[in-house]
Amino acid sequence: MSAGRPVATVVVFPGSNGDRDLFETFERVGFSCRYHPSDRPLSGDSAVVGLPGGFSYGDYWRAGMLASQAPAVADLPRHVEQGGLVIGICNGFQILVEAGLLPGALSYNDPPGFRHRWLTLKVQSACPSPWFAAAAIGDRWRLPMAHGEGNYFHPDGAQAIQGRVPLVYDQNPNGSLADAAALLDATGRVLGVMPHPERASDPDLGSGDGLQLFRAAFAAVRRDAL
């Protein structure tokens, strides 16, 4: 880690469009943020790596599939093993699933269609995670959604993701199993989230609820660095 502020890296894929929102949010909570092209291996000094929303590679073949093969994504397991945090938002969540860092699959919304609107989500009990360390169980968050392929599926059903779903939809907009809007890996350090917390990082623009995730991650990284 560099001296001073902990580093957050935003991986930029061809077709990313939420990279700047994510960059601004990392900076806002105290990280020193940098962009990183997806076709290069990660540099290894980041406390947090973020995969932004968008349409990487035009969603060709399957959303997130082509991006999941990028060198920067191939380095993520090592980053997590070394204690690093990862957040994948929307298309970033799809990439994490395609890369096998999170289980299951994300498919076409059911009922079908691209949906973009504000949603209410509920924080629920899940495995310990630095991302949700400051979140109170039962809290309602207001975050925007903007996706056509956010329908979370696991072939073994809801039991397979028990304790891994920290955030659920109040009114399921896409057919996701167990109303899952977010998913954690077994370490709690890898988070995939389908709505956009980085676009809810300023109360003047609709909601600041998404900041809670990033503030909690910053606090966890700071604590580990001491």
Partner 1 sequence: MHRVDLIVRPRTGVRDPQGDAVEEALRGIGYDRLKVHCVGRFLRMDLDVPTEAEARRLADEMCKRLLVNPNLETYDLKIESLG
Residue 9 interacting with partner 1 (CB under 8 A): no
| 61 binding partner 1? (CB under 8 A) | yes
Q: Binding of partner 1 at residue 115 (CB under 8 A)?
A: no
Cβ-contact 163, 126 below 8 angstroms: yes
Distance between CA 160 and CA 142 in Å, rounded?
A: 27
User: Amino acid identity of 106?
Assistant: L
List the catalytic residue out of 90, 98, 147, 149.
90
Number of helical H runs and strand E runs in the chain: 5, 11
Nearer to partner 1, 37 or 112 (CB): 112
Give the up-direction half-sphere exposure of residue 206: CA atoms within 13 A in the CB hemisphere.
16
One of 36, 79, 147, 198 is an active-site residue; which one?
Answer: 198
Has 198 been annotated as catalytic? yes
Residues 153-192 that bind partner 1 (CB under 8 A): 153-155, 175
Q: Give the active site residue among 36, 79, 147, 196.
A: 196
Helix (H) or strand (E) holding 107: strand 105-107
Name the one range near partner 1 by CB under 8 A: 106-114, 120-128, 184-192, 209-217: 106-114
User: Is residue 111 a contact residue for partner 1 (CB under 8 A)?
Assistant: yes
Q: Least distance in Å: CB of 182 to partner 1? A: 18
How far is C-alpha 183 from the chain's CA centre?
A: 8
Distance CA(72)–CA(9), nearest Å, equals 11
Give the one residue of 44, 83, 112, 128 binding partner 1; rule: CB under 8 A: 112
Among residues 105, 127, 133, 219, which is the contact residue for partner 1, using CB under 8 A? 105
Query: What is the distance between the alpha carbons of residues 129 and 177, in angstroms, rounded to a whole number?
Result: 21
Residue span binding partner 1 (CB under 8 A) among the ranges 137-145, 146-154, 162-170, 183-191: 146-154
Burial of 142 (0-12, 13-18, 19+ CB in 10 A): middle
Residue 27 touches partner 1, criterion: CB under 8 A: no
Q: In angstroms, rounded to a whole number, what is the distance separating the alpha carbons of residues 132 and 142? A: 15
Please give the residue ranges that form the binding site for partner 1 (CB under 8 A): 61-62, 65, 69, 98, 104-105, 107-113, 151, 153-155, 175
